Structure 1
Amino acid sequence: MKPELNLFAVIPEKFFSVLASPLKEDYANILFRIFHQYRLTNFGLSREVLLDIIIDYLEEKAEDEQFTRLLDESVWEESLDLGSSPRDRASFVLRKLEETGWITRETLVNYEEYINLTDYAIQILDLLDKIRKNHRAEYQGYVFATYTLLYTEEASRQGAMALEKAYEQTEALLNGLKALSHNIKRYIERVQDELDPKAILRLHFEDYKAEILDRSYHRLKTSDNVSRYRPKIVDRINQWYNDENWVQEAAVHEVQRRRQGELTIEEARELIYGRMDFIRQTYLNLDQLLEEIDRRNSQYASASLLQIQYRLNSSQNLEGQILSLLQYLAQLLTEQAARGDDDLPAAMAGLFSLYSQSYLDEKSLYTPRRAARQHQPAEVVEAVTVDERVRAQRVAELQARLAEKLTRDKINRYVLEKLGEREMIRAEELGIEAMEDYLKLIYTAVYGRSQRVDYRVEYSGPRVTAAEGAFEFKNIVIRRRKGR
């Protein structure tokens, strides 16, 4: 097997320079426009068409003084005698893309010049375009494609090719699930950094719901559950793995597909076994990754609720007073950090002087085991009694705090009471007049996905206000679950 080439033995050394220059955003936009037009053609783009694409972009940016200045500086550094017309500037950009390896020129038999994107530029632009558009592939598509590839009739005759494509689909599935897990983690960090309760709610009910819950997580746990095809995929891989004749035939096909001398039979067999191991282990260990995604989704829900409670807490009990103190100290530190002073006032410096200290002494030595000694009970003294009035007061305070907790059962009863005999209501019909009503709406939306409540939530409808504009929220639909 041939050794792997160095990256810059394939890609020109200055390939990424245009995306690291002061005009990186503009070069990227021009490249994406060329890429989208290039996908519509079969034989590349003529030089005139390409110049028109670049000129259109330059004319759109003509009023941008910073762009014009940076482009002029770039032209001045590399080509002193170039004209200043849009066509001259477009020719400069075109030559820059050619010098860095993004495009190549080709002259046909009719002497007409065509320009093509290089093969690696096409792959990189395709990937970057998906990243900027936040493209998410369907996980079920990967699983179904893997299952189809392994069970098609051609798999027995073209085993190496079927296995290679199944391997690619499995790799894409694994990378997609890892990306989903990372995206949830990114939302956890965003909600923890957010200070405005309104922004937290918008992040939770619009951004997170659209990008994570609806697009990925909910399908992953319901109709697109990967466990649907997993047993059959693992069974087919095990069948092939233990079939020596199939492995040998697939290895021969793999060698025939490669250039002469690129791969030996033994190397092909090792490659095939490695791909089967990867597919099998991925599907067998997939539950661990799915559990991590579940854990992070629950962690995000908890983080968003705690952040909202923290930001909306205005009570004067001990918890509220501590929160007010911490908010004041955080604001004080932020203001002082902006002035270059990271220290708290002297009167407060002692509040946070706690630290952990460890040291070794004679008590740090290991104590060997000893035979059990007979227990000598201590003398029982008369228990200290608590005044009944104090006890009753403490019990009443505890019951009051428990009554304030918005549990799932309380929210379920609250929603059923609001529904009455109806099958559905809108959020604006709940009567949001005070902070307590607003918090109940939040918990109603959060508990709406639970199977242990008698209603479900549909996130449709515009944003509305209540209490003369004091509260703003999405006018969600709350619908009674069927059969309950």
Structure 2
Amino acid sequence: MNLFDKIPENLFSILSSKNRSIYLDALFVVKESYRYELNVTRSDMNALLISKLESEMYAMESEGDDDFIQTSSDISSKANFLIRKLLETGWLIAEFRGMDFENIIELPDYSKKILDTLEDIMNEKTTEYNGLVVSTYNNLTALDRDRGDYAYQTLGRAIADTRQLIEMLKDLYQNIGRYHQSAIKMADVNELLRSHFDDFQDVIVAKFLHPFKTFDSVPRFKGPIMEILNRWYNDEEMISLMGNQALSYKACETKQEAEIFIHGMISEIIQLYDSMPVLMHEIDIRHNAYTRASIEKIQYLIHRDRSVKGNLVTLINGLKNDVIDSEILSSGISAYRQRYVTSDSLYARSRMTKSRVISSEPVKTVATNVKDMATEQFKRRIQDNYGRDAVVKEILELIRNGNIDTSQMPLENDRDFSRIIMASLFGMQINAPYDVTFKDDRVYNEKYDVPLIEYMKKGGSEAP
């Protein structure tokens, strides 16, 4: 499919002309007018452009052989020129209506979509996050309890929300990279602080990262969502119900095609949720890299050399190539731009600071062998009780004959309590050999209160 089969070929020509700013402003004026009016006549549009863009129209430049802009001093003629230009390039459409053939200006749908996108870019508008994970969980849980006439629509809503969630995560990944590159280029500490705390924290952290990590956490709802979908995949009655509804909506032609289609939708949601931990891990890596780079850049900008030498370096760095090469500067001072690579270019030297010792006492020495033995014994006890290998081995031993939850596990002392915590943390890691699912109930005894958590082997199925 060719894009220019749908839109005029010279649609974007005005955006590369000398007067592109006023053309774009005029289009936004037209778009704004249609928020309040259904039909706008050409005469009304002319008056609206004059009232909104009069000063800008007087500053318009001549384009090529067309010297009308420069020779005409009539503001109404300039407004008519703008409308005619927008009509010629296809941004607007004119239609004659009524008995008196009144000239009506219309904004095509493709023009409105493009202007909406440009306006979002100009205003740095971000899509509000609406809790897609918890919404999918609630919809699937409600349908699992009461299988009604809207099963196919609910599954369609779930796959649409999941696809949107993946796209938003990818956009989040790219946006963090954009802020990272911007932080590297910034040379003013106040600008960098404003970008981080006013823009990044409000746009990225508050609206996206915080929900993903708290109330709309993927690890929190992934287990129940996957449990429902896996059960439906093997439930012939449920597949048949959704297939019949898909046929009624003309999504498929035969019952067999409909059931294959439903299986494919369920499989896609499962695959997308399986891929989310890897994507979230990459987002965390990029977020940490951006935060680290911002902190290092702020420290550099605050502590950089403010002596005469530092000011001279700042002045030279601020000069453009054309200024250095100009005859005016070269006649008064010999300044040339040079770059070089040394052994110091591959790393940054640490800053040496002089420590102040207020008072000191003799250090009590311990025999080397006694100290080493105590250290090794302590490390061994920690690893044996709380190390990843030890905890994972215990959990795998417990689930050898089937899934197990915290109500079936010993919870008599701090060791048992710590094991549940560590096992849950290790189970949420990407390379864990088992999965964890947080249930709605809790487990109580005289000393401890923990969530009902189920541990299961990867690749297996959950206990009913």
Partner residue of 1:6 out of 2, 16, 26: 2
1:186 aligns with 2:182: no
What's the counterpart of residue 86 of structure 2? 97
Partners of 2:310 and 2:342 lie apart in 1 by 11
Moved more, 149-158 or 85-94: 149-158
Task: Verify the 8 A CA contact 1:142 1:173 in the aligned structure 2.
Answer: yes
Q: Cα distance 1:21–1:337, how it changes in 2: closer, same or farther (>3 A)?
A: closer
Higher mean C-alpha deviation, range 299-308 or range 166-175: 166-175
Mapping for residues 399-410 of structure 1, pairs under 5 Å: 400=355
Instruction: Indicate yes or no: 2:129 matched with 1:139.
Output: yes
Assess if the C-alpha contact under 8 Å between 1:106 and 1:114 holds in 2: yes
Instruction: Give the letter for the 2:51 counterpart.
Output: D
Go from structure 1 to structure 2 and tell me whether the alpha carbon gap of 1:24 and 1:160 turns closer, same or farther (over 3 Å shift).
farther
Structure 2 residue aligned with 1:219, among 211, 232, 241? 211
In the TM superposition, 1:145-156 aligns within 5 A as: 145-147=135-137
Report matched runs for 1:35-54 at 5 Å.
35-41=31-37, 43-54=38-49
Q: Kindly indicate whether residue 19 of structure 2 is the aligned counterpart of residue 27 of structure 1.
A: no
Deviation at 1:286, TM superposition (A): 1.7
After superposition, the C-alpha distances for 1:26-54 in whole angstroms (9 at most, x for unaligned) are 2222222222331334x343333332332
**Deviation string for 1:52-97 (max 9, x for gaps)?**
332223314145x3xx22xx437927x7999653332222222322
1:162 is displaced (CA, Å) by 4.5
How far apart are the structure 1 equivalents of 2:78 and 2:110? Answer: 26
1:115 aligns with 2:105: yes
Q: 1:115 to 1:252 in 2, by over 3 A?
A: farther
Structure 1 residue matching 2:250: 3-state secondary structure: helix
What SS class does the counterpart of residue 127 from structure 2 fall into?
coil
Quote the offset at 1:282 in angstroms.
2.4
Match for residue 378 of structure 1? Answer: none
Q: Distance in 1 between matches of 2:84 and 2:282?
A: 49
- 1:176 maps to what in 2? 168
Q: Distance in 1 between matches of 2:259 and 2:314?
A: 62
Q: What does 1:228-307 align with in structure 2 at a 5 Å threshold? A: 229-238=221-230, 241-242=233-234, 243-255=238-250, 274-307=264-297
CA deviations over 1:251-271 (Å, ceiling 9, x no partner):
424536xxxxxx755877776
Residue 33 of structure 2: SS of its match in structure 1? helix
Judge conservation of contact 1:143–1:229 (CA < 8 Å) in 2. Answer: yes
**Paired AA for residue 125 in structure 1:** L
Quote how far apart the aligned CAs of 1:306 are.
Answer: 1.5
Output one character per residue of 1:326-363: Cα deviation in whole Å (capped at 9) or x when no partner. 9998987886966465545xxxx6845999xxxxxxxx
Please tell me the root mean square deviation across aligned C-alpha atoms, in Å: 4.4
2:64, 2:79 → 1: CA distance? Answer: 13
Whether contact under 8 Å (1:255, 1:264) holds in the other structure is: yes
1:300-320 C-alpha deviation (Å, 9 max, x unpaired): 2211221222233469xxxx9
Identity of aligned residues (%): 29
**Residues 143, 170 of structure 1: 8 Å contact kept:** yes
**1:125 corresponds to:** 115
2:9 aligns to what SS in structure 1? coil
Specify the SS of the correspondent of 1:35: helix
Mapped contact 1:82–1:88 kept (Cα < 8 A)? no
Distance 1:277 1:238 in 2: 9
Count of aligned positions: 335
**Structure 2, unpaired ranges of 5+:** 326-335, 347-351, 359-464
Report the Cα distance in structure 2 between the residues aligned to 1:270 and 1:92, rounded to whole angstroms. Answer: 58
Retained in 1: the 8 A contact 2:244–2:258? Answer: no
**Distance across 2 between alignment mates of 1:350 and 1:326:** 21
Inter-CA distance 97–62: structure 2 relative to 1 (3 Å threshold): closer
1:373 counterpart residue number: none
How far apart are residue 232 of structure 1 and its match?
Answer: 4.8
Distance 1:87 1:147, change over 3 A: farther
Flag structure 1 segments of 5+ consecutive residues without an equivalent.
257-262, 356-396, 404-484
Whole-angstrom distance in 2 between the partners of 1:289 and 1:282:
10
Which letter does structure 2 place at the counterpart of 1:54?
L
Write the deviation string for residues 11-30 of structure 1: whole angstroms up to 9, x where unpaired.
Answer: 22222222232222222222
Distance in 2 (CA, whole Å) between partners of 1:233 and 1:305 is 39
Distance 1:151 1:292 in 2: 30
Q: Give the structure-1-normalised TM-score.
A: 0.56
Change (3 A) 1:142 1:37: farther
